[in-house]
Amino acid sequence: MQMRKLGKGNLEVSAIGFGCMGMSSGYGPPKDKQEMIALLHAAVERGVTFFDTAEVYGPLKNEELVGEALAPFRGKVVIATKFGWEANTSDGGKWNALNSLPEHIKQAAEESLKRLKVDVIDLYYQHRVDLNVPIEDVAGAVKDLIAEGKVKHFGMSEASAKTIRRAHAVQPVTALQSEYSLFWREPEETVMPTLEELGIGFVPFSPLGKGFLTGKIDAETKFDSTDFRNTVPRLSAENRKANQALVDLLSSFAAQRKATPAQIALAWLLAKKPWIVPIPGTTKLARLEENLGAANVELSADDVRTLEEASAKIKIEGARYSPFHQQLVGR
């Protein structure tokens, strides 16, 4: 597995990481714990060194799973986690309240350290920008944690270029994590020029369009009742039918390259910038191996241009988030 560096802090990770959320939440019921531990071990054996989790996944369960699974590999892997949510007592204890107050960040870090069974958090992201707390205070709190040796690198998620600049002035930002794929290319205009200017790495989540770009989902697919994709407008049955044209394009291109649509989608991201590290998630060994195979698919500048020109002619239908989640991005 090739390695890449995120940010000027020289955080070195595998070119393809592993998004762990779906093992515990988001895409239906939690998966079998021992099976997921075995899969995480398989990822390490195949060269993956970058694993992504968050306290809100589960909630808390995913950090516990990742902590237990990766305990044998301390010092050999990089674990990223996130802060910024807490249980909303007015909403039955659901984790839908933002809280990036400095004291809350520091308490959350202590708890994440215990669940992850580590002495230091490699990369600590603010999960969503909290408009009630100046970003300078957030960056300052993480700076304190770094000074205390409890965090190595500061990250942000779904933040705007303006907010990234303000945070970076207080504590250098190593990486931004936001959605980015051939299914969602807005970051190219909104944040990537700023990331390049400041020397900040980019970690695209949902690099396979929440599974849609794999070609394994179509208009007839039924999601589990607990699958958050039921709330994603662009993944409604009607919009999946309209957006199938993008998957057909990927499939056609992939057939010419003796690859899969997922591999082409990931290879496109890797070809865009050397400081981009996608984190596809899966709960199946075959899909893990397929995703990692993308690192061996080299796209030329002409390939990238061909893909982009063809996909630009396809109108993607539907918003990428529900109204609640949409209001929390790009702030």
Q: Residue 196: its pLDDT value, please?
A: 98
Is 274 among the domain residues? Answer: yes
Which helix (DSSP H) or strand (DSSP E) does residue 19 occupy? strand 18-19
- Helix 237-256 vs helix 301-312: crossing angle, to nearest 10: 150
Q: Residue 152: its pLDDT value, please?
A: 98
Is 190 among the domain residues? Answer: yes
Which helix (DSSP H) or strand (DSSP E) does residue 5 occupy? strand 3-6
Please list, residue by residue across 120-138, b when 16 or more beta carbons sit within 10 angstroms of its beta carbon and e when fewer do: bbbbbbbbbbbeebebeeb
Choosing from 57, 124, 180, 321, the catalytic residue is: 57
Residues present in the chain in total: 331
Is 20 among the domain residues? Answer: yes
Q: Which pTM was predicted? A: 0.97
Write the CB contacts of 87 (distance below 8 Å, at least 6 apart in sequence).
59, 93, 94, 95, 97
Write the CB contacts of 318 (distance below 8 Å, at least 6 apart in sequence).
232, 233, 234, 235, 236, 239, 242, 243
Within 10 Å of residue 298's Cβ, how many Cβ atoms?
10
Q: Residue 98: its pLDDT value, please?
A: 97
- 125 an active-site residue? no
Give the SS3 label for residue 304: helix
State the residue range of the domain holding 38: 3-326
Q: How far is 42 from 70, CA to CA, in rounded Å?
A: 11
Instruction: With beta carbons less than 8 A apart as the criterion, state whether 178 and 157 touch.
Output: yes
Residues (pLDDT < 70) of the chain are: none
Tokens of 13: 């990770």
Which helix (DSSP H) or strand (DSSP E) does residue 11 occupy? strand 11-14
Is 185 among the domain residues? Answer: yes
Is 240 among the domain residues? Answer: yes
Q: Where are the alpha helices (DSSP H) in 5-88?
A: 33-45, 61-70
Number of domains forming the structure of the chain: 1
Is 89 among the domain residues? Answer: yes
Q: Residue 38: its pLDDT value, please?
A: 98
Is 331 among the domain residues? Answer: no
Q: How far is 133 from 104, CA to CA, in rounded Å?
A: 11
Q: How do beta strands 173-179 and 94-98 pair?
A: unpaired
Rounded to whole angstroms, what are the CA distances from 44 to 18, 35, 178, 214, 279?
10, 15, 24, 23, 14
* CATH, residue 312: 3.20.20.100
Q: How far is 313 from 325, CA to CA, in rounded Å?
A: 27
Is 317 among the domain residues? Answer: yes
Residue whose tokens read 């020029």: 193
